[in-house]
A and B are shown apart, each in its own frame.
Chain A
């Protein structure tokens, strides 16, 4: 054999080996083995909160921005809870239907009163290599954040928000607080003569038990002040707790993936806790980040994603807190310059100062 031919054959042999080695089918895994299941808020079309509804899109893929592959999963189940607990102290979850909106899948939760809510979507997949992938997507939020946006909701959700007569929303059995509410509501509606938007609570679906082995939980209270998820702000420290079968998972990596697919890593401490502070977003006032965690137990691979919506409320956010009061740039300089100029101009124009 000629030397060039033999060299070409060797190169071709290695290329073939390389291809075979990295061929998912030959190597015994599929492309889906890198996939995660996560929930996304529709931030681009509006802020991630609304008075009555919360729409969460379900994605299945590698990272945000990928094509949604949810149809590849056979059984996807959605649950939600408003935080009620049963006798044994476990959260009572209710099943919720998954709806298809265009080419996307979503879960919609609604409530007529301000409530904390958690949505969990679960799915499982058996891979060709015998492994079973167990996916959990989770997020929590407040419903009824902006009362003043009900009108916008009416535009968005149309028929689902009805202007209702007050009496229809009142319970038959009138308690003292109901009576007070009824009097004040009527009084106010007379004053304002506005549209009264009210929705009845959606019928709660069948209660379901939710068995989540690998769990990532977010402290509902921020660390620095008694606030809640509704006020998540940039720089606001969040505390996560990672556990498996109820036991804390210490020294475990948690991947934090932004909407743009930029990835960071944080590590839990020995008690399974980790603290995360989001970076300042220059463009988006509202954004979301995914917290990914994985654990392998025998042939089962558990993948859990927690979606955290971040918001910037000017009121609750002290952008200049790091600067001492009189080291302000820009605005203060302009104010001071205008003030001094005005004083000088007045003194010059007035001629004399005292009466």
Chain B
């Protein structure tokens, strides 16, 4: 099977399951807390862009009839995480995920990434030119991403330490119940929160759809950001990934990952195919003439570079010492969808 086909299938499955799985009883937040925002434990309506399903998970479960439909939902017992455990699991799970699969969440699973790919596909069909960022612009964007990351992580750490240092429980509870306990990034910036909502159309209750649509515009600043991001996504592949704080979060651990992107410098002809195929426009992948480990901070691990490398055994994906996927001339020429 071609890698791009596998990626498309996984992206679509992930998109469907994470967005609408709640309707079919696949409520991961009840079951696996790993990919849910640690601050939404007490929130009912919160929707994390990692898992927009989460809003549904806390939502539809309140309906007794739908509650019974849940596969992993028990009526008699309740397993609840203490906040510090939730945080620990959240970061632990992210570390474990990165350790095993690097940043493949972004390239292969993230529903918002899939949406971005879809919109870019429409642009390509319309034969509209893609916007190219200069290296200087990319550096400036990185600063913005770090600011977003700080907005995302600081409230999490504050809450975590407030519990570790034994602030009075009641205060913590009150704070946790307070809706603005969510990270500033989530409340103020996150465009996926607003853009994903209309897509999460409630199949079980179609009459609620208008509510979902209206929620799209509820967070004013997010609505502003969303307008810009939607246009950005159209003109630039994976536009929001440049700003995404989750990519920054995964970057904290990516150097420890067992899954690596390697380049054999001796066989590289500097054709630049890898760079042109890269949705994140990482020039270093073909310009670099020294490093074997070629994975960079912006990389979303989509492996399009490996697919589009025409040289045998030049770019490869390794898990420990095992090569999982290697560039090959035959594969390249068989590839139906060429660069861009």
Contact = CB atoms under 8 A, between A and B. Distances in A.
Contacts of A317: 211
B32 interface: yes
Contact of B32 (A144, A191, A227): A191
A244 interface: no
A355 B131 CA distance: 10
Nearest to A224: B207
Interface stretch (B56-64, B265-273, B282-290, B304-312): B56-64
Contact of A318 (B59, B131, B208, B227): B208
A129 B214 CA distance: 60
Classify chain A: how many residues form its interface, as a range. 35 or more
Contact of A198 (B63, B67, B76, B227): B76
B79 A195 contact: yes
B231 A150 contact: no
Contacts of B210: 318, 320-321, 325
A181 B74 CA distance: 8
B60 to A, nearest CB: 8
A337 B127 CA distance: 26
- Chain A interface helix/strand/loop/mixed: helix
A284 interface: no
A335 B78 contact: no
Given A169-B76, A192-B79, A352 B231 contact: no
B155 interface: no
Interface string B66-88: 01000010111111111001000
Contacts of A113: 75-76
Contacts of B215: 314
A318 B214 contact: yes
Contacts of A196: 77-79
Contacts of A315: 44-45, 55, 59, 62, 208, 211
A230 interface: yes
B79 A184 contact: no
A114 B81 contact: no
Given A155-B173, A343-B231, A350-B235, A198 B77 contact: yes
Given A328-B217, A338-B225, A338-B226, A231 B62 contact: yes
B128 interface: yes
Contacts of A298: none
Contacts of A130: none
Contacts of B232: 342, 346
Contacts of B216: 331, 335
A337 B227 contact: yes
Given A196-B77, A334-B220, A335-B217, A191 B227 contact: no
Nearest to A181: B74
Contact of A342 (B41, B127, B130, B228): B228
B72 A184 contact: yes
B31 A321 contact: no
B129 interface: yes
Contacts of A152: 42, 173, 177
Nearest to B65: A226
A197 B74 CA distance: 12
Interface in A297-352: 313-321, 325, 328, 330-332, 334-343, 346, 349-350, 352
A198 B218 contact: no
A273 B169 CA distance: 46
A98 B101 CA distance: 58
A66 interface: no
Contacts of B32: 191-192
A51 interface: yes
B79 A194 contact: yes
Interface in A206-250: 227-228, 230-231
Contacts of A330: 217, 220
B240 interface: no
B188 interface: no
B33 interface: yes
Given A192-B81, A198-B76, A334 B224 contact: yes
A75 interface: no
A330 B221 CA distance: 10
Nearest to A230: B62
B314 to A, nearest CB: 28
A339 B230 contact: yes
B213 A325 contact: yes
B223 interface: yes
Contact of A335 (B31, B67, B223): B223
A150 B78 contact: yes
A228 to B, nearest CB: 7
A282 interface: no
Interface of A: 46, 51, 112-114, 144-152, 154-155, 166, 169, 181, 184-185, 188-189, 191-192, 194-198, 227-228, 230-231, 313-321, 325, 328, 330-332, 334-343, 346, 349-350, 352-355
27 contacts: A114-B75, A145-B62, A148-B58, A149-B80, A150-B78, A151-B82, A192-B31, A194-B79, A194-B82, A197-B79, A198-B77, A198-B78, A228-B64, A230-B62, A231-B62, A318-B208, A318-B214, A319-B211, A334-B227, A335-B216, A335-B227, A338-B224, A339-B227, A339-B230, A342-B231, A350-B235, A355-B127
